[in-house]
């Protein structure tokens, strides 16, 4: 692999340290090698002890002594390979095309590795579960601040929410969440605060003034600044009084989530778990389909894996071929969306064990505040 570990989850998994610039990683016979510049080499030797750390400058100086000039990254890779008598490499699908082309020009056989680069990433070790749980706490801290602001807000004209003598907007509430998440050690990104009709688009971040008596979907998914692992949580709340129809939707979503949890067991086919939630909503009278160009009902996956990426294997959806196994950490997030009413979604994070699921989320579920 050639990538930075700030943004590439596979590289972070391989080296267990943050490096902002692309570097070389190779694995041969279960031994990992990293080629680091002088700026990072000592830190790599301390923080990435599972890998052998090689000096980039050593290869550069050797090329200069041989009269080859300053070598390119591809030439350095070739030098490392020649030392180990390697002529063929497998690279991930994300490998830079230009670099692959240059390696081939230098005589290296480059083949794309099908499937996941590290399949074991889907199965979380005990230390990884702790890191996800810590990131989840960061999300809960931000969510708690949002709930407190909503509780302390007043209902003004036209159901407009007022907080500290100014309109409470989605942007303002998101800033409150982000401040709390930062202080807790997380990095928030694209936090969702979507009120009313905006909540019908599951990925709408939300904008404008929030209003009383309508659902507000709050979805917080920060990344730990220390470890790179994510947490993910969603709650739907109403400031004031929810209508009977919203209350019914909320109760059905909560029941659907409980049903989904019962399916989080060893050897469960993910698509089967999702289909159970879809059938439940259908039987409750909440049909899914397109009307006036917009989707209605329950039209996204029941959940997804979470770890060094916010969305990773396994997927709990209609087209998923994944099968649940102990060690999987997944979200459970059923939702219902109807433009005339708004959106309702609840999301927890669960660890699949040999004895059933363990809910890692501690935050309460309350509709009206």
Q: What is the structure's pLDDT at 292? A: 86
Q: Is 141 helix (H, G, I), strand (E, B) or coil?
A: helix
Q: What is the structure's pLDDT at 116? A: 78
Q: What is the C-alpha separation between 200 and 337, in angstroms, rounded?
A: 5
Buried b (16+ CB within 10 A) or exposed e, 118-141: eeebbbbeeebbebbbbbbbbbbb
What would you report as the CA-atom Rg of the chain, rounded to the nearest whole angstrom?
Answer: 24
Q: What is the structure's pLDDT at 114? A: 84
DSSP state of 337: E
Cβ atoms of 299 and 288 closer than 8 Å? yes
Q: What is the C-alpha separation between 228 and 126, in angstroms, rounded?
A: 16
Q: What is the structure's pLDDT at 80? A: 95
Burial class (CB in 10 A: 0-12, 13-18, 19+), 182: middle
Cβ atoms of 221 and 232 closer than 8 Å? yes
Q: What is the C-alpha separation between 29 and 280, in angstroms, rounded?
A: 49
| Extended strands (E) in 86-189 | 88-91, 109-112, 154-155, 161-163, 166-167, 186-187
Cβ atoms of 189 and 181 closer than 8 Å? no
At 94, list the tokens. Answer: 């994300």
Cβ atoms of 257 and 346 closer than 8 Å? yes
In tens digits, the chain (369 residues) has pLDDT values of: 999 999 999 999 999 999 999 999 999 988 999 999 999 999 999 999 999 999 999 999 999 988 878 899 999 999 999 999 999 999 999 999 999 999 999 999 999 988 778 999 999 999 999 999 999 999 999 999 999 999 999 999 999 999 999 999 999 999 999 999 999 999 999 999 999 999 999 999 999 999 999 999 999 999 999 999 999 999 999 999 999 999 999 999 999 999 999 999 999 999 999 999 999 999 999 999 998 888 999 999 999 999 999 999 999 999 999 999 999 999 999 999 999 999 999 999 999 999 999 999 999 999 999
């Amino acid at each position: 692999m050639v990538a930075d570990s700030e943004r590439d989850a596979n590289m972070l998994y391989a080296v267990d340290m943050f490096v902002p610039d692309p570097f070389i990683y190779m694995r041969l016979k279960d031994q990992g090698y990293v080629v680091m510049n002088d700026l990072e080499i000592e830190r790599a030797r301390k923080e990435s002890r599972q890998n052998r750390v090689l000096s980039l400058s050593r290869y550069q100086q050797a090329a200069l002594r041989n009269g080859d000039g300053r070598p390119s990254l591809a030439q350095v890779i070739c030098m490392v390979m020649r030392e180990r008598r390697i002529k063929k490499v497998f690279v991930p699908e994300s490998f830079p095309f230009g670099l692959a082309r240059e390696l081939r020009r230098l005589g290296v056989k480059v083949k794309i590795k099908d499937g996941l680069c590290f399949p074991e990433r889907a199965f979380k070790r005990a230390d990884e579960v702790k890191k996800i749980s810590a990131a989840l706490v960061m999300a809960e801290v931000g969510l708690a601040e949002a709930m407190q602001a909503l509780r302390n807000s007043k209902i003004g004209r036209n159901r407009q929410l007022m907080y500290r003598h100014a309109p409470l907007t989605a942007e303002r509430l998101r800033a409150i969440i982000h401040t709390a998440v930062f202080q807790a050690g997380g990095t928030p990104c694209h936090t969702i605060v979507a009120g009313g009709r905006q909540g019908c688009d599951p990925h709408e971040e939300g904008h404008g003034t929030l209003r009383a008596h309508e659902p507000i979907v709050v979805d917080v998914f920060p990344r730990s600044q220390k470890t790179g692992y994510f947490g993910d949580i969603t709650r739907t709340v109403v400031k004031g009084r929810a209508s009977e129809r919203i209350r019914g939707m909320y109760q059905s979503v909560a029941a659907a989530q409980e049903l989904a949890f019962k399916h989080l067991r060893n050897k469960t086919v993910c698509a089967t778990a999702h289909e159970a939630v879809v059938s439940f909503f259908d039987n409750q009278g909440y049909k899914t389909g397109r009307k006036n160009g917009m989707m209605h009902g329950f039209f996204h996956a029941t959940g997804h894996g979470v770890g060094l990426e916010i969305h990773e294997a396994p997927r709990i959806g209609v087209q998923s071929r994944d099968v649940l196994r102990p060690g999987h950490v997944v979200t459970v997030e059923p939702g219902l969306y109807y433009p005339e009413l708004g959106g309702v979604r609840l999301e927890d994070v669960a660890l699949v064990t040999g004895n059933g699921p363990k809910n890692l989320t501690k935050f309460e579920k309350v509709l009206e505040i």
